[in-house]
Structure 1
Amino acid sequence: MAVSISAVVLLGITVLVLIRSGSVRTWPALACTGVGFFLASTGAAPVITDAISAVTGWISSI
């Protein structure tokens, strides 16, 4: 759970910085957010969560 919250905060900050710098416009960022919410309610969500957990576990073992 802590990894998920940290990832959400990190990704949120990244999106805000990209919007403020002009690299990503507001509407595409909102579209990506919508896709993320819809993806979270599909069968792919557990696979994505497992992949993120594996990567963070790998990084923490370095």
Structure 2
Amino acid sequence: MLVSMSVVLLLGLLIWFLLRIRYLKWAEFLLCGTFGFLLAKTVAAPVVQTVLDGVSGFLGQLRF
């Protein structure tokens, strides 16, 4: 849950930044948001969550 909230926050900030610099139009924002909302209700949602957990686990193990 903590990882998904972090990803949502980061993606939200990225979308805000892209809207701010006018790289992303409102129609594209609404389309992406609708797609994400509908994707969360499909059978692909656990697969997406597993991939995000794997990527966050990998990034958590990196040492700089």
TM over 0.5: yes
State the 1:3 CA deviation: 0.3
Normalising by structure 1, report the TM-score.
0.97
Unpaired runs of at least 5, structure 1? none
Identity %: 37
State the 1:30 CA deviation: 0.8
Aligned residues: 62
> Is 1:44 aligned with 2:44?
yes
The CA distance in 2 between the partners of 1:18 and 1:26, in whole Å, is 10
Unpaired runs of at least 5, structure 2? none
Deviations 1:6-59 (A, max 9, x none): 110110010010011011001111110000000000000000000000000001
2:8 equivalent in structure 1: 8
- Matching of residues 8-27 of structure 1 within 5 Å: 8-27=8-27
Q: Compare relative contact order (CA 8 Å, sep 6+) and give the higher one, 1 or 2.
A: 2
Structure (1/2) with the larger helix percentage: 1
Q: Give the CA RMSD over aligned residues.
A: 0.5
Normalising by structure 2, report the TM-score.
0.94
